[in-house]
Chain A
């Protein structure tokens, strides 16, 4: 009689095998297009009512679509500003979102350029 040696798996499957998942990564959740997303730091409370505060880090996606009501970065007269796109009739504005302080309402002209659309916000608080 000949003996043939063949390994046969006869144990239980590893109980952990189905539980191997990646750690959650909220940054990857915010950044949908890594090639076109750039992080900026916010100074000032121009978009306070939109939940974007002084010191926040914002992800800005250049591939995002600028629509009425969306928060965007725009280039106006050589400066970058964070505002809300507002359409009223056939006019478009770059509007602040702050009911407490006075920030300018800027008309969107031919020279205005949308740098990108705000894709998300990151903020952290003191712990100690």
Chain B
């Protein structure tokens, strides 16, 4: 059986790389980016990691470290990160016909038909670095789980120069025994504990686990992970636990979507799915991004790519909140010259800044939320309501926004005329 190569390209410390793009003084400095409301460190430069700043370390607990080492601290600037992310994706699209966005800084790419995959990935990597200024790393394998694993290995071992092609079984056989089982995509802390009790500590051992046993320990999801590690693609990432940094729900549309209503139907379905997934894993999100674009490979048709982000205040996993935010984003991103008849073939919703619900900051404006279940069932009714109440809700949203703590936010370099970077 010939297996199709899947690549995952991701940017380590993506938010930090975005901040560094316009401020060269950050190049060699330790940098951290804070979560929504300036709570804790969600992105750390390698040098900040080396100084012992842990992922999700609350800012008030690392103040001493920040001062002692001159760590540069930024509030998250999702407007900037969203724009840079869209640019990175558009470079990927020059290299492959099929891009599946997984989160703000990760995408799966189809590498089918590429002869020298390593050379091709290197070329893509240097194109992203040169054109957008963001360093990425690429892992290639015949399943998403293995590709992700290859990517992790490339990230941790500079010897690979940022690209690891694990299509070759000998290479996988050599590397997988060195990967701790907890590093495998979708293996949460609970599952890792259970596996370790069974003496399964590495990716290789997990790959060789009997399928029936895997299903017993961790349901069908773990069974599929085992198959994926064997190189058989069978996991859709809807099934995998979302990572803390974020997730995306996106689909291509067979027939191009032309009207706003059609497009928004797709987007609200994605937002609904994303909300379900958050609740399933007990998470809330701080930022929601909507994106959609026309078929970039049809140069004969009018081209448009739209993308907008909105803060979720308070952080939420509520379908109502997410669809509402998605509506605001979709309206803002909708082309002003829509009469050109754009046909949108891809639309998606991306969530960032995920937190366990019990850790979410309580804001002054936390209102008691209506029961989610009732809301989900009434999505159609909800959509009707939006038509009438959009203005009111949107204005409530903007009034709230300034209450959010973002004391160290960098300028919106790429989206506001007043915030343009300055060259002297």
B377 vs chain A, min Cβ distance (A) = 41
Q: Is the interface of A mostly helix, strand, loop or mixed?
A: strand
The answer to whether A41 and B87 have CB atoms under 8 Å apart is: no
Does A48 sit within 8 A of B, measured CB to CB?
no
List the B side residues contacting A57 at CB < 8 Å.
Answer: 417, 420
Does B424 sit within 8 A of A, measured CB to CB?
yes
List the A side residues contacting B22 at CB < 8 Å.
Answer: 38
List the A side residues contacting B132 at CB < 8 Å.
Answer: 35-36, 62
- Given A62-B131, A63-B130, decide whether A39 and B424 contact each other with a Cβ distance below 8 A: no
Please encode chain B, from 320 to 345, with 1 for each CB lying within 8 Å of some chain A CB and 0 for all others. Answer: 00000000000000000100100000
**Minimum CB distance partner of A80 in chain B:** B423
List the B side residues contacting A58 at CB < 8 Å.
Answer: 423
Q: Measured between alpha carbons, how far is A120 from B294 in the docked complex, in Å?
A: 27
Does A43 sit within 8 A of B, measured CB to CB?
yes
Please encode chain B, from 394 to 424, with 1 for each CB lying within 8 Å of some chain A CB and 0 for all others. Answer: 0000000000000000000110010011111
- Given A36-B131, A38-B413, A38-B414, decide whether A78 and B424 contact each other with a Cβ distance below 8 A: no
Q: Measured between alpha carbons, how far is A39 from B417 in the docked complex, in Å?
A: 9
- Given A57-B420, A80-B421, A81-B423, decide whether A35 and B24 contact each other with a Cβ distance below 8 A: no
List the B side residues contacting A38 at CB < 8 Å.
Answer: 22, 413-414, 421
The answer to whether A42 and B24 have CB atoms under 8 Å apart is: no
Q: Measured between alpha carbons, how far is A58 from B130 in the docked complex, in Å?
A: 19
- Given A42-B423, A57-B420, A78-B24, decide whether A62 and B133 contact each other with a Cβ distance below 8 A: yes
List the B side residues contacting A94 at CB < 8 Å.
Answer: none
Q: Measured between alpha carbons, how far is A5 from B129 in the docked complex, in Å?
A: 63
B423 vs chain A, min Cβ distance (A) = 5
Using a CB-CB cutoff of 8 Å, which residues 48-83 of chain A contact chain B?
57-58, 62-63, 73, 75, 78-82
Does B215 sit within 8 A of A, measured CB to CB?
no
A110 vs chain B, min Cβ distance (A) = 15
The answer to whether B87 and A35 have CB atoms under 8 Å apart is: yes
Using a CB-CB cutoff of 8 Å, which residues 1-26 of chain B contact chain A?
22, 24-25
The answer to whether A41 and B131 have CB atoms under 8 Å apart is: no
Does B91 sit within 8 A of A, measured CB to CB?
yes
The answer to whether A62 and B414 have CB atoms under 8 Å apart is: no
6 contacts between A and B (CB under 8 A): A36-B91, A38-B413, A40-B422, A41-B421, A42-B423, A81-B423
Residues of A within 8 A of B (CB): 22, 33-36, 38-44, 46, 57-58, 62-63, 73, 75, 78-82, 115
